[in-house]
Amino acid sequence: MKLITAIIKPFKLEEVRQALDKIGVAGMTITEVKGFGRQKGHTELYRGAEYVIDLLPKIKVEIAVSSEQVEIAVEAIAKSANTGNIGDGKIFISNLEKVIRIRTGEVDQDAI
């Protein structure tokens, strides 16, 4: 089992959600986050004064999948989140040691 964490642009969330739904991903956790990578933020002009915006709004999508689903899920996220511009985001893949569904007590693959 794997945990896929994707950091994407906020306006791409619906496309990513639909792409994951098409491949049968049953659930996900969405968090609004702020951060920066190589793009290092940007400057904005407000009432004649220049401000540096170094923490940009992003969306963090977390999904737990079986090891067999990892590649197809990563491909779905990468295709649907891609704009071709800087700041499109990143995808992280981590091992899941154990998963437990609280309501039923199901574990591991059954809990996903």
2-47 per-position pLDDT tens digit: 999 999 999 999 999 999 999 999 899 999 999 877 766 666 666 7
Q: What is the rounded distance in angstroms from the CA atom of residue 73 to the CA atom of residue 70? A: 5
**How far is 69 from 75, CA to CA, in rounded Å?**
10
Decide: pTM greater than 0.75: yes
CATH architecture label of 2-111: 2-Layer Sandwich (3.30)
Domain boundaries, the chain: 2-111
State the residue for tokens 């990892």. 70
pLDDT digits (tens, 9 = 90+) for 47-70: 777 667 778 889 999 999 999 999
What was the pLDDT predicted at 43? Answer: 65
Compute the distance between CA of residue 30 and CA of residue 68 in angstroms, rounded to an integer.
23
Q: What pLDDT was estimated at residue 44?
A: 64
Identify the band that residue 111 occupies on the pLDDT scale cut at 50, 70 and 90. confident
